[in-house]
Amino acid sequence: MTPASDESALVQHAATLCQNGRFADALSLVAPLLDRPAPAIAVLHVAAVCALGLNRLVDAEAWWRRAIDVMPAFDPPYDGLGALLVSQGRLPEAEAILRRQLASVTPLHASHHHRFGKVLEALGRLEEAEQAFGQALLIEPRSADVLTDLGNVLRVLGRPAEAELAYRLAIAVRADHALAHANLGAILVDMQRLPEAEAASRQALALCPDHPEAHYNLGVALQNLDRLPEAEAAYRDAIRCRPGLPQPHNNLGCVVRAQGRHDEAMAAFADALALAPDMAEVHYNLGTTFAHAGRHDDAERAYRRALELRADYDDARFGLATLLLGLGRFEEGWRRYESRYEQSTFVHRRTREMLQCAQWQGEPLAGKALLVWQEDGLGDMLQFSRYFAEFRARHASRVVFACQPALHRLMETVDGVDEVLDHDAAAARAAQFDYWTSLLSAPMHVGTTLDTIPPPVRLAADPARVARWRARLDALPAGPRVGLVWKGNPKHHNDAHRSLPSLALLTPLWSVPGVSFVSLQKGQGEDEARQPPGGLPLLHLGSEIDDFADTAAIVAQLDLVVCVDTSTAHLAASLGKPCWVLLPNQDVDWRWMHDREDSPWYPGTVRLFRRGRDDNWIRMAERMREAFAAHFAVRRAAADETARTA
C-alpha cells in the first residue's frame, strides 16, 4: 500500500472508532497526522469530531476552522463548527460560518438554508429567517421540518393565518409530525379557535404522549374553554414531561387559583419563579393571588417587581392600580388606572381611535363641549355619575353622555347632563365636541382623594312610574319592604364567587316578622324567583322591569335593598335608600375598598357584609339575619315610641 492509502485507511479506522464512541482511541490514531505542516482535510475533520466527543471544545473549534481554511468547499466542517457555536450561544459567529458555507459549498441542499434560517431565527432576525426557510423549500418543497419552522417564524411575526397554513402543509406532507400538530394547536389558541386547538393538541399527544408543548397547548385551550380541571391535568402532564419549563407551572397556578385553591396557586408560582426568577408574568400572577387572599402588602410588592422587570406590563400596572384604589391610595391609583387603555383586552381601547375629538387630559373645560363615554357596567356609571356635576362646576358649555339604552331615562335626570345619546349617534357627532372622556377617568383629572370624594348623585324616580308600581307593591302586607338581588351578570369574570348559589341561602331573613320581600332579580335567578325555595312568600317584579327607570321606581318605595355586588347596589344608594351588599371572599371589586363595613362612595346608605377568607355563604347569611333582625327591631321600637308619644 502507498503512504497515501495507509493514511486513508487509518483515517477511516479512526472514523469508525469515532462512530462507536471510542473518541480517545480514534484521536490517538490521527494525532500524529495533525503535526504535519498541512494535515489532510479528513484528518482535521475526524480529529474535530473526536475532540467534540471528548468535550475538548477549543480543539474541536480550532481543527474545524483549519479544515474550512484548507478546503472551503468541503461541507462537513461547516456543519460541525456551526452546531458547536450554536450550542455555546455564539450566534453571530455561527451565522458568519453558515453564511460562508452558503457561499462556498456546491451543491447546496435544503438543509443548508434550513440551518442558516434557524440561526437567524435565534438571533431574532425573523424576516431573514423566513427568507432562508423559503430558499430551503424551493429546493425541498415537501420538508415537514422546514414548513414547521417557517410556521413558527410566521407566528412570531404576527401572521397567524400563514403560520396555520405552514403547519397544515407540514402535516399534509407528514401526518405523524407531532411538533407540527402541537404548534398548530398553539396558533389555533392564538386565533381563539379553541375546539380546533384542542383537537390538534390531542392529535399531537396521540403521536407523542410525552410531548410537553402539546400538553401545555392543550392546557391553554382547555383553560380558555373554562374547563379548568382538565386544563389543570394537562399542565401537570406538561410539568411531568419537562419539569424545567416555567410556563406550565405559571399557568397551573392560574388554573388552581381560579378554582379557589390559593395556597396551591402560590406554590405553583413559587415553582415557576425558581425556574425563571425574572419572569414578570409570574410575579404579576402571584400579586393577583395575594390580592385575592387579602395579603395586600405582598400583592403590592409582587406587582411592583413585575413592573421593574417589564415597565410596560399593562396588566401589572392595572392590577397595582386597583389594589391601590381599594386601599384608598388614590393619587397613584388613579394615575395607574389609566393604564387600562393599554390593555389588549380592554373593551374601550379602540375608543381613542374611533372618536374624532381629543381625549380630555384635565384641560380647562370653560366654554368647551364634552362627550362622556360609557365605560364598564351600569353600576359603574351610576357610581361615577357624580362627576357630571364636576364638569358643570368647571363651566363646560355642553355635556353629552353616550350610554346604552337601559340607562337613558335615568341619566336624563342627572344634574350636569345636557343630553343622552346611544353610542352610534354619539360617535357620529364626535367631531362636534372639543373633548371626550370616560367617567372613570374623571377622578384622576379632578384630583379625587379619599377625603374629597364628591357626594353621590341623588337620583329621583319618575313619578309616573312610581305610581305604576305602587299598585303592585301596595298589595303587600303593611310593614317594611325589602328588595332582593342574589345573582349578578353571569358573564362577569367573578360571577362564580360574587353571585349566591341560590336564593335559599337568604332563607334566614324570612324569620324576621313583619317584613315583605320583593325580587328585583333579572336574568339568571328569575326562575328561582318565580318559584321560591320552600314556598317563601316573595313578590317577583324583576321579569316585568324594562330598564333602570323601572327599577328606580320600585326601589324608591322600598325600605331596604339586600343584594350582591351588582348595579342595583349603586342605584339604591343613589336613590338614598339603605343598601346591604354581600361581598365574596375573593377578588372583591376595588370600589368597595378593603377591611371596612361602610363605603366612602355612599356614606350613610351602604353597609358591606364581607364573606371571610374561610367563611361560607351560610355563616354570612346568619350574620346578616342577626343584623337584619336588629335593624328592624330598632325601627319597630322607634315607631312604637313615636306612636306612644303622639
- CA angle 349-355-360, nearest 5°? 80
pLDDT band at 44 (very low <50, low <70, confident <90, very high): confident
The predicted pLDDT at position 347 comes to 74
pLDDT at residue 643 in the model: 61
Q: Three-state SS for 508?
A: helix
Q: Which three cell numbers stand for residue 564?
A: 350582591
* Residue of higher predicted confidence among 54 and 383: 383
Asked whether the beta carbons of 38 and 45 are under 8 A apart, the reply is no
**Is residue 19 exposed (0-12), middle (13-18) or buried (19+ Cβ within 10 Å)?**
exposed
Q: Which amino acid is at 1?
A: M
**Pair 279, 263: CB distance under 8 Å:** no
14-18, 176-180, 372-376, 422-426: segment of lowest average pLDDT: 14-18
The pLDDT tens digits for 58-77 are 988 888 898 888 889 988 98
Give the side-chain half-sphere CA count within 13 A for 124.
0
β-pairing, 358-359 with 435-438? parallel
Angle at alpha carbon of residue 67, lines to 63 and 68, rounded to 5°? 120
Q: Is 323 exposed, middle or buried (0-12, 13-18, 19+ CB in 10 A)?
A: buried
> What are the residue boundaries of the structural domains of the chain, listed by start?
351-446, 473-645
Q: Grade residue 309 by pLDDT with cuts at 50, 70 and 90.
A: very high
| In the chain, % of residues over pLDDT 70 | 97
Please give the pLDDT value at position 497: 78
CATH number of 473-645: 3.40.50.2000
CA proximity to 298, closest of 306, 249, 333: 306
CA 280 to chain CA centroid, Å, is 13
CB 636 within 8 A of CB 513: no
The reply to whether 473-645 shares the fold of 351-446 is: yes
d(CA 398, CA 211): 62
Q: What distance lies between CA 395 and its chain's CA centroid?
A: 40
Q: 41, exposed or middle or buried, with CB in 10 Å at 0-12, 13-18, 19+? A: middle
CATH topology for 351-446 is Rossmann fold (3.40.50)
Give 99-146 as a DSSP string: HHHHHH-SS--HHHHHHHHHHHHHTT-HHHHHHHHHHHHHH-TT-HHH
Scanning 534-616, the segments in alpha helix (DSSP H) are: 548-555, 567-574
- The answer to whether 448 and 422 are in contact (CB under 8 A) is no
Q: Are 627 and 620 a contacting pair, CB within 8 Å?
A: no
Residue 436 near residue 373, CB atoms below 8 Å: yes
- The answer, yes or no, to whether residue 489 has pLDDT greater than 90, is no
Instruction: Give yes or no for residue 557 having a pLDDT over 70.
Output: yes
- Rounded to whole angstroms, the Cα distance separating 482 from 512 reads 12
At 358-411, the pLDDT tens digits run 999 999 999 999 999 998 778 888 999 999 999 999 999 999 999 988 888 888
Q: Is the pLDDT of residue 4 over 60?
A: no
Grid coordinates given for 251: 399557568
